[in-house]
Structure 1
């Protein structure tokens, strides 16, 4: 019976997130204040009392979710007993810090660099993402390949729910064809750009240097990484997969299935919201899920 800990990505944020955590102890307060210094602005002000619009900016959202997840994991102390970890997109960085593979400060700096690089990449070319509901993976993959513009499956969230990513024209064309093929819905997402697609190549190049410059150690337990949903403990492989992650898909369905195959009996979501618990249940109704609480 193994315990899996899972860490959310962009979209889980809400105004007021982390306030109780900030007030939890001197240690948690110190970590938040350290983050304010490292980032060069008071992210805690936006997290605790900003507007939805301010919190939605990529350069704020990503560090905010990372901080909530990582500081919560640290505050759990000895009760954080992970046999395996995984994170959805941005959450992979939170998972690495919580599993001891990446230092807190290095992790935060990487997340800030990632957010800024992604923000810049979205400004180079108009791009989009859309959630496709009610179709199997193969049909979505096949239709994306038939569109002449750039459009690819970006997030395999759970059976019957994929997110596609690409140029505005590519996503629009694919949505039309997918609805014709029987998709229940093709819903354009309110995101800054085409994350996890070839359009993030500029961000990947920028982030690669930052990732290569940090030390990644062997984690205390295997981490299941987004790009191929497999378990890793080797620092060189973890680094390589982190770099590939920006332009590769998030294979979340496959990740959860692999964790269950490898003995995961419970999944604890560490961070804001409960999106991942819902996705796990859609992959396997029998899976035990919970939110991490102090």
Structure 2
């Protein structure tokens, strides 16, 4: 069985999508449609922008989404048995399995990006990657910091967990992680504490947009970040998508469940190869590749 997986924020690079734009009229039309929907020429930033320009949340999220879904639409043998996406990538996955239209998916991504940016400005915060500790130790250390908000945010693979919280909380947590034997406790260059309670203003804003968007029965199950379980139920998919902004990304558990449910081939669809690397560290299926 084939599992298609879609990357999230951080996979962007200058020049992304240009080859698609230049080689396919269909891809070109979708990029131009995206420029019209967003109200600015995101294609120009994707193809020629600097790393700094691409790092802006309002650019990064739709850029990664566009590269991913247009790549999927160009693939002649795109026939997933299951899909999943890392954080933002979950919206790409929902377009790929026909739960969302291209236009509605992009509008939700844009809304999500602006809402998260606003939440970051309201609550200055950050994230850090913790390497070399087991998940429970990381969770326990976070729970022990009672004066600040610090939580596990991304269960990326065994021995690699990203934490999220206030600037002071992350600083305290990183020291405690090192004392507990972490190989590295590295603050990340991100806009804020994604997938933490500090994203509550964004979650509330996105909830309204999701509830007012048309969701259709998917062509195959989506394994969602919040619970790492497959779903084809529209109401369940919506609720999990809303909860995702303040809940951790359970990527390790999602891949494990997809393998248990029969996935033998994982195909990454989007910029970069980050998810391929994570899948190989979580479980060694028969084949891991990209489109």
Q: Secondary structure at the match of 2:118?
A: helix
Residue equivalent to 1:107: 105
What whole-Å deviation, never above 9, does each CA across 1:124-162 have from its counterpart, x for those lacking one? 111010000000000001000000210000000000000
CA distance in 2, matches of 1:207, 1:84: 25
Q: Secondary structure at the match of 2:136?
A: helix
Residue equivalent to 1:186: 185
Whether the 8 Å CA contact 2:5–2:269 is kept in 1: the answer is yes
Q: Unpaired segments of 5 or more residues in structure 1?
A: none
Whether the 8 Å CA contact 1:62–1:111 is kept in 2: the answer is yes
CA distance in 1, matches of 2:158, 2:274: 15
What whole-Å deviation, never above 9, does each CA across 1:72-113 have from its counterpart, x for those lacking one? 111114x00100000000000000000000010000000000
Whether the 8 Å CA contact 1:281–1:287 is kept in 2: the answer is no
Residues 1:244 and 2:243 are matched in the alignment = yes
Number of residue pairs matched? 290
CA distance in 2, matches of 1:64, 1:266: 26
Give 1:218 deviation, angstroms: 1.1
Residue equivalent to 2:206: 207
Give 1:287 deviation, angstroms: 4.5
Residues 1:18 and 2:13 are matched in the alignment = no
Residues 1:256 and 2:251 are matched in the alignment = no
Residues 1:226 and 2:228 are matched in the alignment = no
Q: Secondary structure at the match of 1:130?
A: strand
CA distance in 2, matches of 1:36, 1:96: 21
CA distance in 1, matches of 2:92, 2:99: 10
CA distance in 2, matches of 1:286, 1:213: 38
Q: Secondary structure at the match of 1:187?
A: strand
Counterpart mapping for 1:63-102 below 5 A: 63-77=62-76, 79-102=77-100
Residue equivalent to 2:116: 118
Q: Secondary structure at the match of 1:13?
A: coil
CA gap 1:138/1:287 in 2 versus in 1, 3 angstroms:
farther
Residue equivalent to 1:195: 194
Give 1:286 deviation, angstroms: 4.4
Whether the 8 Å CA contact 1:219–1:233 is kept in 2: the answer is yes
TM-score normalized by the length of structure 2: 0.99
Q: Secondary structure at the match of 1:60?
A: helix
Give 1:26 deviation, angstroms: 1.2
Whether the 8 Å CA contact 1:46–1:55 is kept in 2: the answer is yes
Residue equivalent to 2:273: 274
TM-score normalized by the length of structure 1: 0.98
Whether the 8 Å CA contact 2:65–2:92 is kept in 1: the answer is yes
Whether the 8 Å CA contact 2:164–2:194 is kept in 1: the answer is yes
Give 1:23 deviation, angstroms: 1.5
Deviating beyond 6 angstroms after TM superposition, the runs of 4 or more aligned structure 1 residues are none
Q: Secondary structure at the match of 1:264?
A: coil
Counterpart mapping for 1:39-58 below 5 A: 39-58=38-57
Q: Say what the alpha-carbon RMSD is for the aligned residues.
A: 0.7
Whether the 8 Å CA contact 1:85–1:221 is kept in 2: the answer is yes
Give 1:24 deviation, angstroms: 2.2
Residue equivalent to 1:166: 165
Whether the 8 Å CA contact 2:4–2:267 is kept in 1: the answer is yes
